[in-house]
Structure formats: structure tokens, C-alpha cells
């Protein structure tokens, strides 16, 4: 669904192919406003050209999986959504740390550092 979602957002905004980091920042800011709600306690910052740090203060998915007693089997869908957006848009990136499961469960925090490879 994330692949369809991001294509529809890009089409609705009339956004051409994303070729620069500035275009990406603009598009990502708008996309996050469209696709998230106030109940999602996260922040993302641009720490340098081509570097984005994303951090969740709390996670509704973690809370829900924990309440159901299955958090130890849960694999994060929130970060997969963002990764799928980037993949679908053809944006080259690396992400650290690479996580399977739920980082909030294993580490008590959830964050990712994205490095992009825009030339401009």
C-alpha cells in the first residue's frame, strides 16, 4: 500500500521526478503532513546535506503490539512504509541501523539515519 500511497501523493502534488535534495526535503515535508497524524510522536531533522535523522518518541504500533502480547514477534511497519516510499520514488539511500523486529521493544528507542545520494 505504501508504494501506491506515495505515487498518489506525488501525482496529487504534481511533483516531477525528485532529482535534488531540496526537492526531496520539500516533498517529504508535505508528505509527512499528509500521511501522519498528531498521535504519531516523531521528529525528523536534516543534519547535513543528504542526511536525515528520524526519531520516534513513542510508537502507536509498538504500544498496540505490546498490549496484544506479540511485540516480540512484531516487525516494524512504520519504517518499512518510509523505506518503501523512497524505493518507489527511485531515491538512492542507505539507512542505519538496519533493524528487524521492533527497535522500541529491543532498545527502548526508535530512530533511523538516512543518507541520500543526491548530487545537488
Render pLDDT for 48-86 as a digit per residue (tens, 0 to 9).
999 999 999 888 889 999 999 999 999 988 889 999 999
* Residue at grid coordinates 502480547: 69
Q: Does 13 map to a domain?
A: no
* Domain count within the chain: 1
Q: How far apart are CA 3 and CA 28, in angstroms?
A: 14
Give the tens place of pLDDT for each residue, 24-52: 999 999 999 998 877 778 889 999 999 99
The whole-angstrom distance between residue 120's C-alpha and the CA centroid of its chain comes to 22
Cα 42 from Cα 28, distance rounded (Å): 14
β-sheet bridge partners, residue 116: 93
- Give the predicted TM-score (pTM) of the model: 0.88
Residue 35 falls inside a structural domain: yes
93 domain residue, yes or no: yes
Q: What domain range includes position 81?
A: 2-8+19-116
- Omega of the bond leading into 97 within 30 degrees of 0 (cis): yes
* Domain membership flag for residue 14: no
Amino acid at each position: 500500500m505504501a508504494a501506491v500511497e506515495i505515487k498518489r501523493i506525488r501525482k496529487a502534488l504534481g511533483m516531477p521526478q525528485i532529482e535534488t535534495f531540496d526537492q526531496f526535503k520539500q516533498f517529504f515535508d508535505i508528505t509527512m503532513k499528509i500521511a501522519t497524524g498528531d498521535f504519531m510522536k516523531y521528529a525528523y531533522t536534516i543534519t547535513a546535506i543528504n542526511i536525515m535523522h528520524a526519531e520516534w518518541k513513542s510508537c502507536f504500533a509498538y504500544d498496540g503490539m505490546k498490549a496484544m502480547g506479540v511485540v516480540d514477534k512484531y516487525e516494524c511497519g512504520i519504517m518499512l512504509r518510509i523505506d518503501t516510499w523512497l524505493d518507489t520514488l527511485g531515491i538512492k539511500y542507505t539507512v542505519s541501523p538496519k533493524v528487524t523486529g521492533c527497535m522500541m521493544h529491543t532498545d527502548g528507542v526508535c530512530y533511523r539515519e538516512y543518507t541520500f545520494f543526491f548530487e545537488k
